[in-house]
Structure 1
Amino acid sequence: MGLLNFLNNKLKSTHGEEGETKKIVLKIVAAYGVIGIFWIIVSDRLLYTFIGEPKTLQNIQEYKGIFYVLITMFFIYRLVYTPINLLTKSNKRIKETNFKLMDTYSELAATEEELIAQLDETKAINKRYQLLIEGSKDGIWEWDLLNDKFNFSIVTKPPFNYAVGEIQGGFEQWSKLIHPDDKEKANVIFNKYLGEKSGTYRSTYRLRCKDGSYRWILSQGQAEWDVGGKAIRVAGSHTDLTETIDLKESLHKLYYYDNVTDLPNRQMIKMKIEDKIAEFPKEKFALVCFDIDNFKHINDTLGHFAGDELLRYVAKVLKVKLDSVHRIARLGGDEFLILLEYSEISRILAVTEELVTELRKPWHFQDKEFHISLSAGIVTYPDHGSNFDALLKNADSAMYAVKENGKDNFGLYTDEEQQRRSEYMEIVNDLHHAIDKKQFELFYQPILNLESRKVIAVEALIRWFHPEKGFIPPDKFIPIAEQTGQIHEINSWVLRTACTQKKKWEQMGFEPITFSINFSCKSFTQVDPVKNTQMIINESGVKYDEIQLEITETSLIENFDLAIDTIRELSERGIKFALDDFGTGYSSFTYLKKLPIDCLKIDRDFLLTIEMDKTNEIIVNKVIELAHVLGMKVIAEGIETVEQLEVLKKYGCDRGQGYYFSKPLPSSHIEEFLVKQ
């Protein structure tokens, strides 16, 4: 626009010069006219005066006219040449200048268009930047250190909700918004950045919203320095990290804390103990590992909600009874771990006893009173382990030793417990390969009719001959197999091997006899135990009514609800059941009433002194009478003397087995025994 104005002004100036030119030309024309007229009049009069002859006059007038024309031509030439020459040169210069001006105009027009485009682009960029700033959760900030002016935009955004211009002033005004607990740290970080004079400033702190709440902010930026190395300006961004930090804290709590009791979980207590050992390797402490006795019964009878309430109750008691210097964690299920910051054994035992006693008090749930108990194992660092895993393993071993000895107590880990635990793990590992490596073998002990002395059955007894450890008795590995679930495979092997042997003897011509097979009720917890048992018997081709499964009171106690239906179904198919070790449990008569038992086996302990101990003799007599009234047969185990045999016969005991007749024998030796019979 400036260029157009310039050219317009030039044109106006040119029009003014054209007027002056006209005046000069008019003056020249006027002068020429005057001189010409003067010449004609004067010259003619002079000729008429001095020349009278017409012809001469005519000639002179012709010469005069020619001379006048020549003179006029000369003067016209002189008058016209210079201006026209100047005009031509000026015109040429004007054209050249005009071309230059046109080129310049084109360049200026292009530059003007480019500047306009750049201006539009800058406006668009500024608008996009403004939209970006307004649309994001981030804000920008700038601190003019020379004038102490602090500008920031994040406070006008939700959820800070300050009005534009509400927060004004220098850094001090901004500092007032920082959480009191974060202010000192934020100042230290900022001053450290200014002191180092390099890198990027970065700090995290909480900033107050208008409603008084606080939100986490990530502040970062860079400074501008003068030639003397002094910071004159710092600018950067603010990012609201509240959701990120809340999520991080939620994930931290989810990973390191128990969601039922809000106690630290296994990962957290492990980390704390390992850090403690690393930082103070010589400092002694104790771990108490305990669980709630019979917790499964609470869940099964009252529901998992009640179980969770009990866990919260236990956690609350522990928090109340223990000082904050100690740590409490829930490892999972009903298992808890306590880190006691004591080194004296006496004090550790006293605190543990106090906790166990406190938790024996009745627990109230839904207006009912329940009595609970704990089993706890104690270890000390570094005596019982140098790391968390070793300490927990040994504390767990001590706890299970307490459970095996009646529960509701606590015990300190011992070296003997370590040896027992090592043997336990060895047996567990060896059991995995015992069947595949054919280390099991069935021995058979004859069961005789006490009146006829005829063999009417054999009891199949499992024997484990380990290639390195030698003979391992059943009472040492069967309970372990029941705990680990390996008993299912062992039960199947025993049943299949016994049925196969029975069929073999029948094919050899021996008279069919009943096979009495020890069977753990733990297998009744399998999927479809009736189907599995039937399949094994059917594969062998033996008769159902010639198979008798011996079950113990101990295994029934823990699996009664699952066992009762299975036993009834198998009994309906003809399989007989014998209740082994009768009299050693505390609920035997319940089993006699509810289960289809065919035979009672009197435990050998009642026979040891039966001929001298009248009490045992009376018990045996009454058991035999009771069984007969209920329509059951009676088998006496462990008959070793003729005196024992005579007492049993006197009271009408039906069958018996023991070393008096024969010890358990391998199948080949039993065949010889059967031949003799």
Structure 2
Amino acid sequence: MLYVSWDPVLVGISFLVAFIASFVALDSAAKIAASNKKTALFWRIAGGATLGIGIWSMHFIGMLAMKMPMMMHYDLGITAFSLLVAIVAATLSINIAVNGNVLSLKRLCVATLILSSGVVVMHYVGMAALMMNDAIDWNYGLVALSVIIAIVASGVGLWLAFSLRLNGKGALINRMVAAVVMGIAIAAMHYTGMSAAEFVDHAHYMNGGVSELGLSIWVSAVTLTILGVMLIISMVDSQLRTNRLTENLQQLNQQLEQQARFDGLTGLANRSQIDLRLEDCLQQSQLTLTPFALIFMDLDRFKLVNDAWGHHVGDHLLVSVANRISACLTPKMTLARLGGDEFILLVPDTNQGDVEDLATRLVECIRRPFFEAGQILQVSLSAGISLYPEHGKSLQELKLRADTAMYNIKQQGRNGWAIYHADMMQKTWEGAEFLQDLTQALERDQFELWYQPKYHAASKSIYGFEALLRWRHPTKGILLPEVFLATLENTGLMVPVGYWVIDQACLQLRQWADEGHQDWGLSINLSATQFEQYDIYDTLCGALSRHAVPPSRLTIELTESTALRNLERSIGILNDLNRVGITVSIDDFGTGYSNMLTLKNLPARELKIDKSFVRDIRDNSKNVKIVSTIIDIAHSMNMNVVAEGIETQDQQQLLTSLGCGYLQGFLFAKALPAKEIPQLLATLQSPKKLSVPPQPTAIQKKQA
């Protein structure tokens, strides 16, 4: 037998080549998942080819590391064939493994068989390229071991390529560690196969072919060139993707900042912007002792327009109303839309006579008919006025009294205006009686949870519910949170009611599980006050444990302003909730600060697009672009996206086409008590049911 020694430098280089090739292949697999179809094709081919070339190069560098007493020569044709085998096998196996969102056992086995067969064939064909006759005695035990190592290494490598294809936190480190593991496995297979070969000293060695020196130059040049080019392309592509994501985030933040200050439909100031203007005006008036006026305005019978002609006609009408009112104003005045058909007007440096003249003109201009979408529409305006300092010295007092005056006009028949006076303060549900009823509602068991279904956008099947609080008042019937939620917050009752909601939600999950609905999840809303409680984590975990509910079935919804209020504390609590399996959802996204650069630091797994975006969304609306960008960036952060407030099939189809995975709204079902859910399921499972449930009436929407 010939004495064979090994060059440790070349052995190390061979492992380095295997490591780099494995890393480039893993990085290419990640780029496949994040690229469009055309670009993904390039990374499929490039990643597979790079892995194949890397394995082949590692093999021949390893053979060059084997030092023998004579100069060896290699058959050029067989050597080239072994390279082709490696490239084809690696490319096919990579494409099979990373194709799809789930790696089935069947696909993994097929891909493993192709790659391991290619590696084994490449190795032993490469050994056959040595130009000698009857020079090798094979240890078939080690040959079999090398085949087993190739199968295991291929399976592990392909599983890692699939598992690490998504870009998440620590992805780079994970890929580097995986590349080290794959490099060791490839090297182990090669050197085990080499150890199986024993060279006899009486063998006949042939001249010709490619010498060891020529092969070393060829392999080095090809390997370094291809791996170097692929690394450069990968780094440039990663940098371009990072720059593109940063630009998208900046553009989105600019759009959301604009959306946070101005109404998306009319272009008027919104609630946040008018509050800033009011504060400035109040400070200036306090310094200069000049009066100003606040006018609350509401369209009469606007809901009838929406119900009769549709929301698109209603939207056109709102724009026309805003334009007519704006035409009556001077540049120093500020008009804002509070939402729906409610407007507020700030009139600085004025007196009662001028405000009365202005209010008269506003009511008269709205009284004239509108022509929208081929329809003649007749609406009227109710307006309430408060004056500073006569009717209050704080913004809260002025707003309340302007609203009270407007409500008084509504009670008297609408279509007019009124200036506040003290006799108007008798409003429904104000005073001690309302507060007394509310403080006793919890111990009298008057609160209820109603449940609105959430649907898969693709299959329109129920996957869970959102729990919504209702108050069953003994004389007023079912009351929505808008009536009592602010009072709960102001009086400190939100905390005990919030604890009751958590316990009832977990109890309902337990009951659903006992009825065979273990796959249903339930989301609950946490207010800012409740989230700031020191024991909120223990409260949630305790309720889940008490009712034997898996944490993965519970979702907590936080508004973005609540989550970002104390960012460091929020991250700590939400990380703890994530660790036990509770899903964190950012609710009403787009209505607050809306900074996705900061939001990405939160460990949230779900994003809910606020219904204000959905309500005004149109094919030609800028909201479409904003929503599309939100969905794309949320998906890049591995977050599910839920759109709430779906009321029309157009909204459903548009949001589904934009990639929104989950939908919720009146189009599918209103909120309902738990006892009515079986009836809803029966309706959905009926062979005569429509593709979506009938749209609820205006009265049903109020109850939901």
What is the TM-score of this pair, normalised by structure 1? Answer: 0.39
**Larger relative CO (CA 8 A, sep 6+): 1 or 2?**
2
What is the TM-score of this pair, normalised by structure 2? Answer: 0.38
